């Protein structure tokens, strides 16, 4: 997998995880809280700003870890 594949995979997983942690199913376990939805918004904001600036913090981290940029 290349950097863009990892970015899409990680961002998608974190969005689904934070949405699941932000939904109250009635019995309110320890980690489920509506403030997790702010994490979802943060990920969306990062994806949105990437469209204009082409600056991706996760991409820089993955590049430093040696993940290839091209196939």
56 within 8 A of 46, measured Cβ to Cβ:
yes
The pLDDT tens digits for 11-58 are 999 999 999 888 876 666 666 788 888 999 999 999 999 999 999 999
Question: How far is Cα 34 from Cα 20, in angstroms, rounded to an integer?
Answer: 10
Give residue for tokens 């939904």. Answer: 23
pLDDT of residue 35: 87
Give the pLDDT mean for 49-68.
95
32 within 8 A of 21, measured Cβ to Cβ:
yes
């Amino acid at each position: 997998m290349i950097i863009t594949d990892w970015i899409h995979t990680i961002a998608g997983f974190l969005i689904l995880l934070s949405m699941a942690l932000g939904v109250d199913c009635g019995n309110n376990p320890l980690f489920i809280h509506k403030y997790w939805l702010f994490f979802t918004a943060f990920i969306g904001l990062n994806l949105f700003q990437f469209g204009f600036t082409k600056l991706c913090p996760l991409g820089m981290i993955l590049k430093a870890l040696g993940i290839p940029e091209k196939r």
